[in-house]
Amino acid sequence: MLGGNAQGKTNLLEAVATLATAQPPFARKDAEVVRFGAKDAIIRSSLRRGGYPLRADLCFRTQGRRAAQIDGVPCRRMVDWLGKVTVVLFSRADLDLIQGSPQGRRQMLDRIIRQMAPLFHDEEARWSRLLVQRNALIRHILTGAATASQLEAWDEPFAVAAAAVSRRRAALVRSLAPRAERWLEVLSGGCEALGIGYKPGIPGGDESMSIEGPEFVASVLEALGKSRAQDLARGHATVGPHRDDWLARLDGRDAAGFASTGQRRSIVLALKLAERDLLREAVGEPPLLLLDDVLAELDPSRQEALLEAIGDGVQTFVTSTHLSDLHGAWRARADICQVAPGHIARPSVT
């Protein structure tokens, strides 16, 4: 997809990525994906899954719930939608993953989990509802409208829901890590050793922490008890999955602080390839690969390594402003479309 800035290239990739999780990857609210002045935004797609055609349509509204249809049949629950399309989205924002905010690193994990575990949708919803309720109670305690002892009724369900979310993320990092480590070895010609570990969002929580089993719920509960004074001082929960994080280490040292820009890009690329492998193993079909404006940021050797890693049979969408940013081997294998405001034309100049 070739075109200048602000022509709608990312918009197209965003639409494809949205098909996977039913959640727009860059929007915080559904209303943000709707054109200004319009009431709703609709994505219509025709796909082939396991050799069978499938039609999947999603509708986002400025007001009201989103609606989804598979082959014209409305989905009663979002769980019925999930798992139909899997994607790996690699955008420019991902290049900052390693030294960026913990929030970005959590979102990256959650996007993968939503595609692999349909139940995560409910677990997340439950957890965020508990967070909102418990924070509301903390505010009532601060104004004197409630007593601190009332927190006890919320701490245990909070801990159970928090553990469910953190467990999913920890399990994902555990299966992502060895694959990413292998890919970095390939990308760096065996020179660099990557290590990735999960840090649960409780004080003192580190990578060695056991997250399986009831003892983790007990640790979260204990941490909640200990952080109560701090929670009350700040007016919100300071312990929980909203504080989870993961760390990348290069040759044993924190990559956020020590790795060069090029090395960090290689780590992100290794992670994306690991994500692709994992989704393929989980779903039995390779996911769609969406490369939004990132190819230009990778040097020719990394571009080549990526192309080789993708191999055949993986549908890949690439956006770029200049054809010259693409390594020759990429250009040779691509269908090139021109993106002008609001429409896409193919074939085009080569």
Q: Which of residues 73-112 bind another protein (CB under 8 A)?
A: 77, 79-80
Among 31, 42, 73, 136, indicate the residue that binds another protein (CB under 8 A). 136
Q: Please give the Cα distance from 211 to 219 (Å, whole number).
A: 9
What phi and psi, each to the nearest 5 degrees, are found at residue 283? Answer: -100, -20
Q: How far is the CB of 78 from another protein (least distance, A)?
A: 10
* Candidate list 32, 74, 101, 150; residue touching another protein; CB under 8 A: 150
Q: Under the criterion CB under 8 A, does residue 283 sit at the interface with another protein?
A: no
Q: How far is the CB of 36 from another protein (least distance, A)?
A: 24
Q: Which stretch binds another protein (CB under 8 A): 145-153, 198-206, 271-279, 302-310?
A: 145-153
Smallest separation, CB 220 to another protein (Å): 15
Phi, psi at 56, each rounded to 5°: -130, 120
DSSP string, 228-241: HHHHHHHTS--SSG
Token pair for 142: 């601060």
CA dist 83 and 75 (Å) reads 13
Q: What's the CA gap between 23 and 114, in Å, rounded?
A: 10
Q: How far is the CB of 113 from another protein (least distance, A)?
A: 14
CA distances from residue 145 to 140, 234, 274 in whole angstroms, order as listed: 5, 17, 50
Asked whether position 118 contacts another protein by CB under 8 A, the answer is: yes
- Minimal distance, residue 312 CB to another protein, in Å: 33
Q: Tell me which stretch binds another protein (CB under 8 A): 142-150, 209-217, 260-268, 328-336.
A: 142-150
Tell me if 156 contacts another protein by CB under 8 A. yes
Contact between 203 and another protein per CB under 8 A? no
For another protein, the closer of residues 154 and 183 by Cβ is 154
Which window, 16-24, 156-164, 288-296, 312-320, contacts another protein (CB under 8 A)?
A: 156-164
- By CB under 8 A, which span of 66-74, 93-101, 116-124, 334-342 interacts with another protein? 116-124
Angle between helices 102-116 and 120-143 (to 10 degrees): 140
Q: Does 133 bind another protein (CB under 8 A)?
A: yes
154 binds another protein (CB under 8 A): yes
Check the CA dihedral 256-257-259-261 and report its sign: positive
Residue 239 Cα distances to 24, 100, 155, 173, angstroms: 27, 21, 11, 20
Residue 122 contacts another protein per CB under 8 A: yes
Binding segment for another protein (CB under 8 A), chosen from 10-18, 94-102, 135-143, 213-221, is 135-143
Identify any residues that bridge with 48 across adjacent strands, giving them in sequence order.
53
Q: 255, 131, 242: which is closest to 188 by C-alpha?
A: 255
Binding mask 50-79 for another protein (x = CB under 8 A): ---------------------------x-x
Nearest to 326 by CA among 309, 345, 344, 350: 350
For residue 81, what are the CA distances in angstroms to 32, 56, 124? 21, 9, 16
CB nearer another protein, residue 22 or residue 268 = 22
How many residues sit in the footprint of another protein (CB under 8 A)? 25
- Asked if 130 is part of the footprint of another protein (rule: CB under 8 A), the reply reads yes
> Residues 199-214, buried b or exposed e (16+ Cβ, 10 A)?
bbbbeebebebebeee
Tell me if 229 contacts another protein by CB under 8 A: no
Query: Which of 122, 212 has the CB closer to another protein?
Result: 122
Q: Could you give the residue ranges of the DSSP H alpha helices within 117-146?
A: 120-143
CB of 51 to another protein, least distance (A): 22
DSSP 320: B
In the complex, the residues that contact another protein under the rule CB under 8 A are 77, 79-80, 118-119, 122, 126, 129-130, 132-134, 136-137, 139-140, 145-146, 150, 152-154, 156-157, 161
